[in-house]
Amino acid sequence: MSELDRAAEKSARGSLYLFMGNFLSEIINAVGVVLVARLLTPEEYGVYNVAFVLPFLFVMFSTWGVGAALTRFLARYQEEGRWIKIRGMVTKGLAFNGGLAVLLTAIMYVSADFLAETILLRPGLGGLVRLTAGIVFLFSLFNTISAIYFGLERMDIIAALTVVASLIRSAMSPLLVSMGYGIPGALIGYMVGYGVALLIGLILLARVIGRVDLNADLSGEGSLRDMLRFGFPLFIGSFVMGLGLRYQGLLQVWFASDLAIGNLNIATKFKSLAGLFTVPIASSIYPAFSKFRFEDRREEMAKMFNSSVRYATMLVIPVTFLVMVVSEPAVVTLFGRDYAQAPFFLAIAVLEFLPVGLGSLSVLSFLNSQGDTGTTLRLNLVSVGIMATICTALTWQFGITGLLVGIVVSSILGNAYNLSVTLRKYELDFDRLHTLRVAAFSVLAAGLTYGVMEYVSLVNSLVHAFAASFIFLALSVILAPLTGAVTKPDIQTIRGIIQRGFRGYSLLAPFLDLEERIIQLFQRSTE
């Protein structure tokens, strides 16, 4: 097995760890969200989500690209066994980002009333803004230690910390709301969860880097200057993208009611089901790409790029259409019928994941891993420009619906542009026909499932959601190999990765066996 094959396999195992952690976290979060949403009115739940706009805006200023630099350099240094450099970079990165986080938290706290009136257009939320200033500090450091663990490829620790944060926040927030603390109580519970996870993460990290000689030479390559030189262009690019996301939040505040915002955020919770697959993939392939230089391994890295697009497409696009199919019964089951707009919002919002078939999870990870931060910045500027133009016009005219349509359209256009630039510059390619095959069986399975469920009368929405999911998955198992979206080599690759990296392989083996049998039967019938 080559070094690149080992890196790809390790990346896949890391994705699996992150998926399992995120899956558990989302289930736990769902319980907390349901309880909080039911304890608060839809309007109050909208205000609760508005309270996160400003702290996450401040978090955008909190790394200056040091986190991305840590992930890239630590992945390479670990491959080379240079643990002294790793310790130096971790120490300097934490000190820099920690100091910056304290400064930003203080600024937000002092200017809370001004920010609530001028940016949120809600003067009465000054107290909540002061309270949520703590999120800036917590998230800044949590993101930093996550970047460090990504570089060290300890996705198991990141998954565990995510679950811990979810457990505590999902217990604390509903408890404090039920005790009469309302929206502030929900926010405090949220911060306590991340605070405890951050503390645990720092303790574990101290044990890892504490094994290195304290008197070792930490000068030279790996200095804070090196991190900023690499990371600051990435910071500008990610800042532009983050500004685009925060701008979407401001469009909601300016052009939508609190009731509509509350419904949108319920939809966003379900949209994160597709994110269970996208986040682990994107997080794992960046350190995997970072271990190698493209100019030294052109053919192998081109193959690795194509594989990353292929398997991300096979996972994410079917899940996207599954979420659309079960949007209404799932929302009704967990949140009741008070959030009447949420299913429609969800059905549109989840389409934002379709550009995975255009390499949306691979392109920027590849560019950043090779230090091509200038191209990343240019692509981000174009993408945000497209988004701001389309979303502003549509939100102004059609409210939340216009915003969601604008996000989907701009995402497709922006990622298509990103892909074309990257393929042309690095002479890469990917299997376009495979993307179409995956889209074809996913659309067909979703359409057939929806048609069947229209003729089935199920009073219980939970049963409806499970029945629709079962039908969709059964159809996908049959249609995926029939359309050529899943091939025998794909099954063998997936089997090998899961068999070596996942103790629950025996649970998944029957499904892989079934796929192989369907492929064999189809091949025999066409001979």
Is the pLDDT at 93 greater than 90, yes or no?
Answer: no
**372 vs 318, more confident:** 318
Please tell me whether residue 339 adopts helix, strand or coil conformation.
coil
State mean pLDDT over 69-84. 74
- In the numeric block, the tokens 């191209």 are attached to 375
Q: Are 354 and 318 in contact (CB under 8 A)?
A: no
Which whole number is the average pLDDT over 162-182? 90
**Helix count (H) and strand count (E) of the chain?**
20, 0
Q: How many CA atoms lie within 13 A of 228 on its CB side?
A: 8
* CA pair distance 519, 33, nearest whole angstrom: 42
Provide mean pLDDT across the span 465-478: 87
Lookup: tokens for 515: 């796929």
Q: Is residue 452 predicted with pLDDT exceeding 90?
A: no
pLDDT band at 219 (very low <50, low <70, confident <90, very high): very low
Which has the minimum average pLDDT: 201-205, 265-269, 345-349? 265-269
Q: Rounded to whole angstroms, how far apart are CA atoms 140 and 57?
A: 12
Averaged confidence pLDDT in the chain: 80
Burial grade of 180 (CB within 10 A; 0-12, 13-18, 19 or more):
exposed
Q: Is 328 left (phi over 0), alpha (psi -120 to 50) or beta?
A: alpha
Considering only CA atoms, which of 361, 352, 272 is closest in space to residue 313?
Answer: 361
**Contact between residue 311 and residue 280 where contact means Cβ atoms under 8 Å apart:** no
- pLDDT above 90 for 41: no
Query: What is the H or E stretch that residue 473 is in?
Result: helix 461-482
| Residues 364, 195: Cα–Cα separation, whole Å | 30
Report the alpha-carbon distance of residue 87 to residue 345 in Å, rounded. Answer: 46
Cβ–Cβ < 8 Å for 173, 185: yes
Give the model's pLDDT for residue 218: 43
Q: Look up residue 177 and give its amino acid.
A: V
pLDDT for res 188: 92
Q: Is residue 85 within a helix (H) or strand (E), and if so which, with residue range?
A: helix 83-110
pTM (global) more than 0.75: no
Average pLDDT over residues 257-271: 76
- Please give the Cα distance from 289 to 76 (Å, whole number): 10
> By mean pLDDT, which of 89-93, 263-267, 276-280, 388-392 is the weakest?
276-280
If phi over 0 gives left and psi between -120 and 50 gives alpha, with beta otherwise, what is residue 212? Answer: beta
Q: At what angle are helices 155-176 and 126-151 packed, to 10 degrees? A: 160
Tell me: pLDDT of 391 over 80.
yes
Contacts of residue 271, defined as CB under 8 A and 6 or more positions apart, other chains included, come to 323, 346, 349, 350, 352
Q: What percent of the chain has pLDDT over 90?
A: 10
pLDDT at 4: 54
The dihedral formed by the CA atoms of 463, 464, 467 and 470, expressed in degrees to the nearest 10: -110
User: Is residue 285's pLDDT more than 60?
Assistant: yes
What per-residue confidence (pLDDT) applies to 195? 92
User: What is residue 228's predicted lDDT score, i.e. its pLDDT?
Assistant: 74
Question: Which range scores top for mean pLDDT: 3-7, 68-72, 191-195?
Answer: 191-195
Least confident of 49-63, 223-237, 413-427, 451-465: 223-237
